[in-house]
Structure 1
């Protein structure tokens, strides 16, 4: 019960008690699509799960029946798996709700979501003793119209080493679109991947590798930590790509209190993009109203027991800051912890739960509405104190540059 309560609090992005519809006790090959399920059966399993668990009962009673009937008719006409996947995503988009999406084994989000819930039995039943692993080059991507666009390049990843940038458009490799399947086929092989950047097509050399989803995100956070010098000050910087699990908060504590960042004059906490999952209690590291402990040995040598970051801190946000991260941004502003810099957050603050469908594809569904100090942020978001936009065409990070300027002057 204590573990379940921890997940309930700490994973506001992915609130869950149970997370799968499957009862299999054996490892399932998540790279395969069992042929025994028709598209109509899969759609019915998905829509039934939505009907039972979606948090908005008014929507279920008034809108859901007609909407579902319309899409169920269209399922009969889909020509292939790709068409079915698009149809389901279009269906869920009409809910106009965050934490409500559909993912297959050819989508990095599928593995990231499963990785977040990896300790739970039904995820282990799907992935087995090896855990949630997948082929990766360290990219976060989204489909914009018919293009696959890079929305994040994880620190320390092969993609970063290859020079890939946010805003790059992934193009076809050997007539295949960028996908988990393409990476799996080229695992541990150096490949020249075509991308489009600023209207020009270029090749980047990169080697896909097998990674554990959670470890990949944690290592990216750790690799991002660095000191930036500006105006004679040392500014600590760390990009928390995810907060979905207490281990990320502990990593932040480790970096700020005991690592090289502890010697900085100020801090930029970057919560742009990636995954949410932050608990409100994570703001406590910036609470200065905590006693400071100093220990003295018999030679009067002192040692400080650090539990808090007591120096200036700024929060960097954008429209990819979602869910639990938005709660941190809300707290920063309401309790005057430090300046919030960047762009308005996503306004994606419900609590989600994952369900495996019969073919092991994944439904991510909003199962709870969330209020923060009585306020609803879903569909609204959090506005920055200092607005800074980022030009995706340029390699510079204009938002970070503005945050460095602000914090160097505090």
Structure 2
């Protein structure tokens, strides 16, 4: 069996990021020269390499999974059941499916094996690039730049083989092309759609998507770009900020797509104190979909009893310190609200900061860490988490006003957003 390098993060690292988001990433092994780099297709796949990858994943789970009983499973027996399937695997995709089927038996959040054919592989690598650069990231991204060709959607693969868009990130080619949540992408340039593969080698070019929207099938051209995840999520946050006029009220709206880094909170504070939302009468704080990573203290933004400061340097540049929002606020949540965002939703509801509108959150609140193994990225739950003494894992947070999702993730046709506007504007 191939030995996985023991690179367990400290408890502080795990709890600081992972327990309230998706954890501190570390590398179990640096990819070899034979492994795919920059998300290239794994044309040189050899089954023996798949066995090595499987063995490393299995051992990493054995050594680091948060539950030493492995959720009641006899973990050596699990290996023996899946190993014959791994030996018959003929592609990286089939290997990943086998590994993820094995991991699903643990019934734990933040526990999945991602490949370079998935946007999440790059997003997680970018979220944890600070740690990974010291532990083998250069083997996968030789120039140090983490990016992938894409259009800025969050999607899920249906049993039919089609990809259904669950969210469209603001300020991306997908939004500019008019794609919507609920759209099913049937094909790209006449071939089966792949979230990354369909755009490889086509950055800056037009790619025609065959999209089914309800009973209508349409051809929608998009122009993929080279997406750097953190920049994409930050641009999405800034691009989402707007004022909605309703019943004589100016309702501010902002969507935080990812909270894995204080830069997102700082950007939100700037929008509220000096940016487009500073003159709003109320705020809609959208935490639906995307990644977690939020810190519980982010709720201090709505603690009206603490003072703020304005500091000005000698050039006359001013900045608000310890920004506070003392006006009405509502939070939007759904089944894609996960981990650190769920902690915020829990506190927002418990301490009655405003209405929680939408549907129950995912219930994915374990502490996790990440390992680079065999050309893929393993996200693994390594600690249990209680929030104010309660375990949210597998439970989630229920809204105070339950509103099912509509066909789109944001905009006038979004029933959850419409309800939030109505609540805050008194209509």
Return the TM-score normalized by structure 2. Answer: 0.87
Aligned to 1:133: 147
Mapping of residues 135-174 of structure 1, within 5 Å: 135-145=149-159, 146-173=161-188, 174=190
Contact (CA 8 Å) 1:71, 1:91: kept in 2 or not? yes
* Aligned counterpart in structure 2 of residue 13 of structure 1, from 12, 21, 31: 21
Aligned to 2:414: 397
Contact (CA 8 Å) 1:187, 1:210: kept in 2 or not? yes
How much is the aligned-residue C-alpha RMSD, in angstroms?
Answer: 2.6
Contact (CA 8 Å) 1:99, 1:366: kept in 2 or not? yes
* Aligned counterpart in structure 2 of residue 113 of structure 1, from 117, 124, 134: 124
Corresponding residue SS for 1:375: coil
> Does residue 380 of structure 1 match 2:395?
yes
CA distance in 1, matches of 2:309, 2:290: 35
Runs of at least 5 residues in structure 1 that lack an aligned partner in the other structure: 297-301
- Structure 1: which 4+ aligned runs deviate by more than 6 Å? 24-28, 302-306
Mapping of residues 35-46 of structure 1, within 5 Å: 35=45, 37-46=48-57
Mapping of residues 277-356 of structure 1, within 5 Å: 277-292=293-308, 307-356=323-372
* Aligned counterpart in structure 1 of residue 38 of structure 2, from 30, 37, 40: 30
Contact (CA 8 Å) 1:139, 1:150: kept in 2 or not? yes
CA distance in 1, matches of 2:14, 2:260: 9
More helix as a share of residues = 1
CA distance in 1, matches of 2:136, 2:215: 41
Moved more, 379-388 or 169-178: 169-178
**What displacement does 1:129 show?**
3.6
Corresponding residue SS for 1:43: helix
Distance 1:341 1:195, change over 3 A: same
* Aligned counterpart in structure 2 of residue 122 of structure 1, from 118, 129, 135: 135
Contact (CA 8 Å) 1:197, 1:393: kept in 2 or not? no
**Which string of whole-angstrom CA distances, capped at 9 and with x for unpartnered residues, describes residues 15-47 of structure 1?**
22x511124699972334364653222211111
Aligned to 1:299: none
* Aligned counterpart in structure 1 of residue 209 of structure 2, from 193, 204, 217: 193
Corresponding residue SS for 1:237: strand
**Which string of whole-angstrom CA distances, capped at 9 and with x for unpartnered residues, describes residues 38-82 of structure 1?**
322221111111111111112267432222321112222334333
**What displacement does 1:159 show?**
0.4
Aligned to 1:371: 386
Corresponding residue SS for 2:69: helix
**Which string of whole-angstrom CA distances, capped at 9 and with x for unpartnered residues, describes residues 226-276 of structure 1?**
000111000010000010111111111111111120111100000000111
* Aligned counterpart in structure 1 of residue 81 of structure 2, from 70, 75, 78: 70
**What displacement does 1:222 show?**
0.6
Distance 1:277 1:186, change over 3 A: same
Runs of at least 5 residues in structure 2 that lack an aligned partner in the other structure: 1-9, 313-317
CA distance in 1, matches of 2:86, 2:386: 36
**What displacement does 1:293 show?**
5.0
**What displacement does 1:5 show?**
4.7
Moved more, 219-228 or 33-42: 33-42
CA distance in 1, matches of 2:320, 2:197: 51
Return the TM-score normalized by structure 1. Answer: 0.91
Distance 1:58 1:236, change over 3 A: same
Corresponding residue SS for 2:271: helix
**Which string of whole-angstrom CA distances, capped at 9 and with x for unpartnered residues, describes residues 330-358 of structure 1?**
00011111111111100110112111112
Distance 1:331 1:123, change over 3 A: farther
> Does residue 50 of structure 1 match 2:61?
yes
CA distance in 1, matches of 2:147, 2:310: 44
Corresponding residue SS for 1:344: coil
Contact (CA 8 Å) 1:314, 1:340: kept in 2 or not? yes
Distance 1:332 1:162, change over 3 A: same
Mapping of residues 56-95 of structure 1, within 5 Å: 56-59=67-70, 62-95=73-106
> Does residue 262 of structure 1 match 2:299?
no
**Which string of whole-angstrom CA distances, capped at 9 and with x for unpartnered residues, describes residues 133-181 of structure 1?**
1111111111122221111101011100111111111112332322312
